[in-house]
Every structure is written in C-alpha cells, then in structure tokens.
Chains A and B, each alone.
Chain A
Amino acid sequence: MSIIDRPTSTGPRHGALGTSPTRPDGVAKVQGTFEFSSDISADGCLFGATLRSPYPHARIVSIDLSAAWKIDGVQAIVTAEDVPGQLTYGLISQDQPVFASDVVRYVGEPVAALAADDPEVARRALDAIEVTYELLPALLDPELAINGQFDPIHPDGNVIRYQRIVHGDTDATGEIVVEGTYEIGMQDQAFLGLEAALAIPDPGGKGIEMHVATQWLHEDRKQIAACLGFKEEDVRLVLGGVGGAFGAREDISLQVHCSLLALRLGRPVRMAYSRAESFLGHVHRHPATIWMRHHANADGSIVKIESRMVFDGGAYASTSSAVLINAITLAQGPYRCANAVVDGWAVRTNHLPCGAMRGFGAVQACFAYESQMDKLAIACGVGPLDIRLLNAMTTGDVLITGQPVLNVAPVEECLRETDALPLPDEPVGGHARTDGSVDAMKLPGGAGRTADARDIVRGIGWGVSIKNLMYSESFDDYATARCRIESGPDGPTVFLKFATAEVGQGFVTLAPQIARSVLGIDRVELDQIDTQVGSAGSTSASRQTWMSGGAVNAACELVRSLIFEHVAAVYGCSAVDLFIDHTDVVDPTTGRRFDVAEACADVSFDETAVYRHPETSEIDENGQGNCHTAFAFVAHRAVVDVDPELGLVKVVQIATAQDVGVALNPLSVMGQIEGGIAQGLGMAVMEEIIQVDGVIRNGNFTDYLLPTFLDMPPVVATLIEQPDPLAPLGAKGVGEPPCISSTPAIVAAIRDALAQAGIDAPLNRVPVRPGDICL
C-alpha cells in the first residue's frame, strides 16, 4: 500500500450511485441467453399440470383418477389427500387449500396435479380425471358478503376485514359538498414470463430445491415447507429468471404442487402455466366500489371526507386485508384533511382471488379521490390545478390516521413542475402528412381508421397521489445482505449476496452501484439469488431500493470500516477519520490518499447486515395509529384526444413530476416511470378481467387488452430530488407511484374533452369503455 497523489474528485464516477450503468444481465437478455424460470430444465425431468375447478362454487362429490392413471406416461397424480403437512397456504392468513377437497370456491381453483413424461400427455391426462361436483349458489355480490345474507362460503366467513377510520370532528361540514360512487375493474398484472418452476427433490426425499420466479423467496419457502411438512432449512429456493411480477408473484401459485409431485416421484418436475392458466393461477388487482363525499369551504379547502369502500377479495384472503388498509388510510389523497369518516370492507366472494398489484389499494382510492377533486374544483369555480395546490399536503401534515407525514412531501413541487412541462406540440389529430392528408395512426382508434379528424376534441386532466412505501401495521419488515471482498491478481472484487428478487426493476444494477460508492472498488460481482442468506423481504411495496438497498449499504459500510482499520493500522492514522473519495481512501488530517484496491490487496473481509425500517404500529378501532413507514408523491397531467361519437380515446402525452428522493440510477427511474404509467393507462382505458357468473371471459391476450406501442404516448418527466433524511440512501421507492395517479389523470382528461364537446359523461368507472363515452 502506498500514498498516491490524486486530486479530490468532482461528480460521481461511472458505475457509482447517481449514474446509469447498464444492467449486468442486459447482454444476456438481449441475446436470448438469460435463463428465465420457464427455460430451466433438468435431466430426466417430468412435466406437471394442474386440474382446476370449472365452477365458482361447488361441492366435490368424488374424484376418480382411474382413467387418468391408465394413460401411458402419467407418473404421479396428487390431490388434497397427498399433502403431508399443512393443508392450506396464504400470505397473511393461510386460508387457501393446496388442493380443494370438499368445496371449490372459484373457477380455476386447483383440485389435483399430475406429472407425466411429456407436457401434452400431462394435459390430456387432466381431461381424464373425473370430478363429480354438486353445484352450490355462488356469492358474486360483495354487498351480500357484507350484509350477512349469504351463508359463509369459507370457514373464516365472508368478511375478510372491516376497518373504520374516524378522525377529527365527524360533524364538521363545509359550504361545498360533492360526492360520487366510483368503480374500479379487476386488472391483471399480465407479466410476460408465465409462472414456471423446477423442483428437484433431495436424494431420500428429505428436502427439496426449487428454482422459481417469485417476488419473495423466503416467504415462498415458509409456505412450501409448511405444506410439505419440512423444516424451512430443508427447502432451498433459487430465483429463476423472473419475467415481470407487478404483485402477481407475491402469492404461491404452482410452488407446492410442483414440489409434491417431485417428492412423490423422487425426480425433478417442471411446471409451467399457459397464459389462460396464468389468468386463473395468480391473484389480481381488487375490483372496488368506492363512495366518497367531500366537504369543503367555499374556496375549496377540504373540511372533511366521508367514504365507504368495498373491495372484492375473491375466494381467498391473500393480501386483501393489507390492500384495504392502504386504500382507507390514503383516502384523503395527498391533501390536508382534518376530519374523516371512512368505512372499508374487504370481502370474500366466489370470484377470482385478488391480492397484490402495483399500487396495492392506493390505485383504487386514488381514482375516487382524484375524481372527487375535479368535482370539487368545478363546484368551487377553480381550476383542477388550483384546487390541488390549495390543498396540497406537506411535511408535518397529519393523515386521517393521526400519523404525521415525516418524509419530504413535495406535493406542491410535483404539481408546479408538472405544470411547467411543455404541452405536446402535436396538433389535434396529429401533424398532417407531407401530402396534406391526416395521419390516421395519430387519431383515436388508430389502425381502425374510423375516427374523423374534424370530430376530435382534446382534453387535459390532472392526477396526484400518495403512496405508502414498505410494509405497514407493525410487520417486522427487514432485508439482509452480505458483502465480502476477495483479492486476486487483478485486484479486489466485491461479492454481494442477497435474496432480493430481481423481477426486472434493476436491483441487480443498483446493488453494485451502492458497493462502488461505499467501497471505492469498481469490480462487483453478484452471487446467486437464493435462500442461502437471510430474507430480503418482498420485491413489492416500492421497498427494495430502500430496504435491500439499505442492507447492501450497511453490509458495505461494515466492510469499509474494516478497510479503514486496516489502512489505519498500516499508516498509524485514525480509522474514524478516513473516508472514501472515488477509488481512494483519504486521510483528511494529513491529506494522504491510498488506493482502495491496493489497500485491499492482501486482505479479505466478509460482513452481513440486516436493515430494518423504524417500527410501525397497529391501527385502533377508529383507524388511528402510525401504521405506515414512509410516503412518496407524484403528479400526472394527461393530454388526450377523444372522438366523442365513437367513444375512442388516444392518450397524446403524459407529463409527470415524481418525488424520488434521490435518483440513484436516473435511467432506471425513468424506466419505472414510463412502465408504471403504461399500466396506469391500461387501467384507465383498456384493461379489465371480465367475469360473468364467476367465469372469466377474457383470460387471454386477444381479449384482455394491453397497451401497445401505439397506445402509449410520450412521457415527459421531471424528477423531484429532495433527499429523504429517513431513507438510508436518501432515495424513495419509485415503482408504484407512476401507475397510481396516471389513471385518474387520463380519465379527467377524457371528461375535459367531453365537456368541451358539450357531453356530460360521469366516467365514474375504470377502465373507461367506448360505450361509457358515446352511449
């Protein structure tokens, strides 16, 4: 180790925090060599398939496997009788059977699984299983679950959770009162990489290894182990390449079924869902009905909100109780509100089970409160931006739960910066082509070429939102990371180990950035993502930058302190004074600099850290308590072109300013913003799972419409960078906010366009369908 002569650096070095290095898995992904969970196989592996209920509610009278067993190539069939451990699983309460044995409660509920030599044989064999059902009346109206007029469809009852919020003066009233009832349809996460896993039993069948695409390896392991009757350490999970998640991989899908088959056979078993099966095999965004009434002073300042929220959780609880709490506790939106009465129900029905999807309850509440804000603006005779600026909350304001917002809360900045972004220069109906004709692709309806440019009306709408980050209600939320340094002939390498599920969001890019910034070492390698290290918690709730980022940061800081001690011992300086500047260790008392790589030439360090956010509390019977960890904010402004006669909509531009704390990787942040807005756009005008009598009618990509290149407009964005002192890296999670208020902004813009055309359409339901506009 030697003293070097280098000036103090300015600006971040490439690859460190604040820059946008490319993804470490990027080249493999563009070349098709990245291994997704659906690409993983093993020698001698068999193919699993799942038999599902065709009925929303029915009693199983008998299951006859004899014909299926006669099919050549069928190796194993398992039903509820073959579950050795706990018979049910679930994220918060374990209320969902591994296989239905007495009653099926939704169309698509697993009844049996089998393994065969070939996937086609497996599918054929499913058809040969004869299940006799006795049909039961289906509970499809959430109000019947609330009012007790329907017999319980599950031993846990038809109400998954009821929670009330009572805050401030419940008799308070204002001169202006606006109200409405809003409906949010069931959205699908529609990740492209279908559910898939490979289960490899240990010799002797005392344990199992599973490669699976999931959001939370350790939670999966806990649930799998319980159902298999194994100790958790006998179940090892490895993250299979994840083709998107968006909440749909937080719950168990095929994990236990695949494991049971592999253990039964003592051979590896693969399972992979089709798209149709995927629509049945994972939870969806809750459909909700929200009544809301705002009381305000004549100037538009909010006095009180009242709301009644009903979330249809479908047949099993999943995360319904937590989704509900997000919705009701964020009912005021990012606005000051001193008084509130909110009643919320999450109920059980015989619909598809619902659970986590990006935005997690905040999405449904936001469509209601933002629709209300526009009504309030009209009633007060002020503009949509002004009503939001007037009521914008800031740091220190108290939520209707009594919880103060301690994070930076730049709601006003989000609004003003969004307003400062340029409106699209695209004329209504698009620029004329060189021959003077209209470019039909720019018109609503696009390739259908049905809209007449003269009929098109342009509208502008606003949406602003608040989102809680991390887990709430006293959950012990933590993340673990390990950092070690090994030196080699080419200098030291940092190895990071964590169980953080990389689902596409880019934690595998961020983690090395953190290590480079903290340690001053450029070469960083990532170990396999698996359960051979402590839990990282879920890749959800916009939490991994904060939580796993916090853990990686803490582990690297532990190693850094050892490096400092080593340097201090060699040079006789004080370890506590040293700091890292780019790739140097600096002793500020003498101005001496040492190259970090050289300092680590002969040493190796290995430290593991656990990061926990401050504890949250439960809420009481009046919904009061500091139940959330942190908050993030965003504003959206949508510009749309509408053909009022045909009910067609083209979103022309989305402008947004988002409260990100610090942009640790600006390019990744932009990717989250654009991707989230695309899902918000889908919720606004395209995406809905349709169920008729409990049967899904559009469980495929032909009938379930997803935004394409032609549907998604340009996004102009400003990042509001106010480092959050409560966040370990100053950065807030950025994944969920983009998809929350983009939806009401687009709907508000449609309403604005229609108002200009003299049409008063309430558009109180998303997705907005053509008929909602023109009929």
Chain B
Amino acid sequence: MSNEIFTLHVNGEARPVRDSWLGENLLDVLRDRLGLMGSKGACEQGECGSCSVLVDGHLVCSCLVMAASAVGQQVVTIEGVAPVGTPSDVQQAFVDAGAVQCGFCTPGLIMAVHDLLGRTPDPDDTEIREELAGNICRCTGYGRIIDAVQQVALARRADRSGS
C-alpha cells in the first residue's frame, strides 16, 4: 500500500489516485479507488470482456492493464459513453432489442460494440461475431445482441446517406 498519488485521465477528467499499490490493475483502481463501478469484473484474466474500457482508443480488458501504466493515456469507461439518462445509440439499441438480461456483461459489450462500429461501420455477421468473441454473455445466447448491433449499423447507415 502506498500513499503516492498518480493521475489518470478518465472520461476527460484528471483523476488523482490515492492508496493504490503499484501493480494494481486498472479495473480495481477504476472501481475501488475512483468509484467508477460501471466496469465489471467477472473473470480477472481477460477472458470475459466485462471490464472492457478504451485506453488511448484501444479496447482493452482493464483487469489486464496495470493502472499506473495508463498514466498519460486517455481512459474511457462505460460512464464516459453517454450522460446518465441519455443513452447512446448502441445503449438504446441494446435495451430495445432485448439484448440485456442480467446485464453484468452489458457495460463491457457496449464498449466493444462502440469500438467495433467506430472501426467497421458495416460489419457482416462473421465480423460481428469475431470482433465480439472476447465478450462472454451467459444469459442471452447472443442473438438479441447481434440484432442490436445490426440495428445500430443500419440506423447509422441511414443517417449517413440522409446527410
């Protein structure tokens, strides 16, 4: 345990981190030191994707990232996706499509889907499945999640062609 302070940039804000120990992972620092409880821990070894965040634009499992190594980088968590009460298009599509049951995997999946659609606006079925295969959902069997992703891609395509 150390009282040294390092500063993370999370969701556009400078956030001093106190009482962390060197080597503490980013997920635990986000949750236990910074009170950002939206990222979830379910496997602690990078298999399930529940803790997915963006670090300098790259989708990572925050349980596998040493928090101190993210100093100087831009971290975006589920709390930074959209203001509370104003869901993003991906978030709203998850709700509407029935892609949420227990919801524990959902924040990580929202991060992964935003990342996917940012890079690949029109993913085909294989691309969706391969890109999201690092996020495990135990409730839904994935069908409604794929539906939600396709709906967002479709709506964004319509927006693009309309503008």
Residues of A near B128 (CB, < 8 A) are: 709
A528 at the interface (CB under 8 A from B): no
Residues of B near A668 (CB, < 8 A) are: 98
A120 at the interface (CB under 8 A from B): yes
Whether the pair B98, A120 counts as a contact (CB closer than 8 A) is: no
Residues of B near A189 (CB, < 8 A) are: 138
B100 at the interface (CB under 8 A from A): yes
Given A504-B101, A671-B139, A709-B133, A27 contacting B48 (CB threshold 8 A):
no
What is the minimal beta-carbon distance from A193 to any residue of chain B, in angstroms?
4
Residue of B nearest to A73 (CB): B1
Q: How far apart sit A191 and B82, CA to CA, in the bound complex (Å)? A: 27
Whether the pair A192, B104 counts as a contact (CB closer than 8 A) is: yes
Residues of A near B126 (CB, < 8 A) are: 439, 441-442
B43 at the interface (CB under 8 A from A): yes
Residues of B near A33 (CB, < 8 A) are: 38, 84
What is the minimal beta-carbon distance from A499 to any residue of chain B, in angstroms?
18
Residues of B near A241 (CB, < 8 A) are: 103
A706 at the interface (CB under 8 A from B): yes
Q: Mark A656-683, 1 if CB is under 8 A from B, else 0.
A: 0000000000011011011111110000
Residues of B near A667 (CB, < 8 A) are: 98, 144
Q: Mark A1-42, 1 if CB is under 8 A from B, else 0.
A: 000000000000000000010110111011111111011000
Residues of A near B105 (CB, < 8 A) are: 192
Q: How far apart sit A20 and B96, CA to CA, in the bound complex (Å)? A: 9
Q: How far apart sit A35 and B101, CA to CA, in the bound complex (Å)? A: 14
Q: How far apart sit A120 and B21, CA to CA, in the bound complex (Å)? A: 10
B130 at the interface (CB under 8 A from A): yes
Whether the pair B40, A192 counts as a contact (CB closer than 8 A) is: yes
A702 at the interface (CB under 8 A from B): yes
Q: How far apart sit A104 and B111, CA to CA, in the bound complex (Å)? A: 44
Whether the pair A675, B38 counts as a contact (CB closer than 8 A) is: no
What is the minimal beta-carbon distance from A244 to any residue of chain B, in angstroms?
4
A200 at the interface (CB under 8 A from B): no
Residues of B near A442 (CB, < 8 A) are: 126
Q: Mark B99-116, 1 if CB is under 8 A from A, else 0.
A: 011111111001000000
What is the minimal beta-carbon distance from A715 to any residue of chain B, in angstroms?
6
B58 at the interface (CB under 8 A from A): no
A484 at the interface (CB under 8 A from B): no
Given A504-B139, A701-B136, A30 contacting B91 (CB threshold 8 A):
yes
Whether the pair A702, B45 counts as a contact (CB closer than 8 A) is: yes
Residues of A near B82 (CB, < 8 A) are: 31
Q: Mark A711-740, 1 if CB is under 8 A from B, else 0.
A: 010110000000000000000000000000
What is the minimal beta-carbon distance from B92 to any residue of chain A, in angstroms?
8
Count class of interface residues, chain B:
35 or more
Given A29-B103, A33-B84, A192-B40, A118 contacting B1 (CB threshold 8 A):
yes
B60 at the interface (CB under 8 A from A): no
Residues of A near B1 (CB, < 8 A) are: 118, 120
Whether the pair B133, A32 counts as a contact (CB closer than 8 A) is: no
B150 at the interface (CB under 8 A from A): no
Q: How far apart sit A632 and B71, CA to CA, in the bound complex (Å)? A: 56
Q: How far apart sit A189 and B138, CA to CA, in the bound complex (Å)? A: 9
Q: How far apart sit A128 and B64, CA to CA, in the bound complex (Å)? A: 27
Interface SS of chain A: loop
Residues of B near A194 (CB, < 8 A) are: 41-42
What is the minimal beta-carbon distance from A675 to any residue of chain B, in angstroms?
4
Q: How far apart sit A29 and B106, CA to CA, in the bound complex (Å)? A: 7
8 Å CB contact of A701 from B47, B98, B101, B130: B47
Whether the pair B141, A712 counts as a contact (CB closer than 8 A) is: yes
What is the minimal beta-carbon distance from A311 to any residue of chain B, in angstroms?
24
Residues of B near A678 (CB, < 8 A) are: 138, 140-142
Whether the pair B43, A701 counts as a contact (CB closer than 8 A) is: yes
What is the minimal beta-carbon distance from B50 to any residue of chain A, in angstroms?
6
Whether the pair B103, A275 counts as a contact (CB closer than 8 A) is: no
Whether the pair A709, B129 counts as a contact (CB closer than 8 A) is: yes
Q: How far apart sit A439 and B103, CA to CA, in the bound complex (Å)? A: 32
Residues of B near A191 (CB, < 8 A) are: 102, 104, 138
Interface SS of chain B: loop
Residues of A near B102 (CB, < 8 A) are: 191-193, 242-245, 503-504
Q: How far apart sit A163 and B139, CA to CA, in the bound complex (Å)? A: 34
Residues of A near B34 (CB, < 8 A) are: none
Whether the pair B101, A715 counts as a contact (CB closer than 8 A) is: no
Residue of B nearest to A739 (CB): B141
Q: Mark B112-149, 1 if CB is under 8 A from A, else 0.
A: 00000000000000101110111111111111111000
Residue of A nearest to B97 (CB): A667
Q: How far apart sit A31 and B79, CA to CA, in the bound complex (Å)? A: 7
What is the minimal beta-carbon distance from B100 to any residue of chain A, in angstroms?
5
Whether the pair A715, B104 counts as a contact (CB closer than 8 A) is: no
Q: Mark A172-191, 1 if CB is under 8 A from B, else 0.
A: 00000000000000000111
Whether the pair A23, B143 counts as a contact (CB closer than 8 A) is: no
Residues of B near A31 (CB, < 8 A) are: 38, 78-79, 81-82, 84, 87, 91, 107
Whether the pair A671, B47 counts as a contact (CB closer than 8 A) is: no
Enumerate A690-722 residues with CB–CB distance to B below 8 Å: 700-702, 706-710, 712, 714-715
8 Å CB contact of B138 from A25, A700, A706: A706
Residues of B near A29 (CB, < 8 A) are: 100, 103, 106
What is the minimal beta-carbon distance from B104 to any residue of chain A, in angstroms?
3
Given A26-B94, A192-B104, A32 contacting B136 (CB threshold 8 A):
no
8 Å CB contact of B79 from A25, A32, A193, A447: A32
Q: How far apart sit A276 and B58, CA to CA, in the bound complex (Å)? A: 28
Whether the pair A27, B87 counts as a contact (CB closer than 8 A) is: yes
What is the minimal beta-carbon distance from A470 to any residue of chain B, in angstroms?
22
8 Å CB contact of B103 from A118, A245, A274, A504: A504
A506 at the interface (CB under 8 A from B): yes
Whether the pair A27, B140 counts as a contact (CB closer than 8 A) is: no
Given A191-B102, A243-B104, A441-B126, A674 contacting B146 (CB threshold 8 A):
no
Whether the pair B100, A670 counts as a contact (CB closer than 8 A) is: no
What is the minimal beta-carbon distance from B144 to any residue of chain A, in angstroms?
6
What is the minimal beta-carbon distance from A362 to any residue of chain B, in angstroms?
19
Residues of A near B39 (CB, < 8 A) are: 32
Residues of B near A193 (CB, < 8 A) are: 40, 42, 102, 104
Whether the pair B130, A441 counts as a contact (CB closer than 8 A) is: yes
Q: How far apart sit A674 and B87, CA to CA, in the bound complex (Å)? A: 25
Whether the pair B104, A671 counts as a contact (CB closer than 8 A) is: no
Q: How far apart sit A481 and B98, CA to CA, in the bound complex (Å)? A: 26
What is the minimal beta-carbon distance from B13 to any residue of chain A, in angstroms?
16
What is the minimal beta-carbon distance from B44 to any residue of chain A, in angstroms?
6
Whether the pair A30, B141 counts as a contact (CB closer than 8 A) is: no
Q: How far apart sit A45 and B45, CA to CA, in the bound complex (Å)? A: 27
Whether the pair A243, B141 counts as a contact (CB closer than 8 A) is: no
A246 at the interface (CB under 8 A from B): yes
Residue of B nearest to A674 (CB): B141
Whether the pair B48, A701 counts as a contact (CB closer than 8 A) is: yes
Residues of A near B98 (CB, < 8 A) are: 20, 22, 667-668, 670-671
The 6 closest A-B pairs by CB, nearest first: A32-B38, A504-B102, A29-B103, A674-B141, A243-B104, A678-B141
**30 residue pairs bridging A and B, Cβ less than 8 Å apart:** A20-B98, A22-B95, A22-B96, A23-B95, A26-B103, A30-B107, A31-B38, A32-B38, A32-B79, A33-B38, A38-B41, A192-B48, A192-B50, A192-B104, A192-B138, A194-B41, A243-B40, A439-B126, A441-B129, A447-B130, A667-B98, A668-B98, A671-B140, A674-B142, A674-B144, A700-B43, A700-B47, A706-B138, A708-B135, A712-B143
B-to-A contact residues, CB < 8 Å: 1, 21, 31, 37-45, 47-48, 50, 77-79, 81-82, 84-85, 87, 91-92, 94-96, 98, 100-107, 110, 126, 128-130, 132-146
A-to-B contact residues, CB < 8 Å: 20, 22-23, 25-27, 29-36, 38-39, 118, 120, 189-194, 241-246, 274-275, 439, 441-442, 447, 503-506, 667-668, 670-671, 673-679, 700-702, 706-710, 712, 714-715
Given contacts A243-B42, A442-B126, 18 further A-B contacts (CB under 8 A): A27-B91, A30-B87, A30-B100, A32-B77, A190-B138, A192-B48, A439-B126, A504-B101, A667-B144, A671-B98, A671-B144, A673-B141, A678-B138, A679-B138, A708-B136, A709-B135, A712-B142, A712-B143
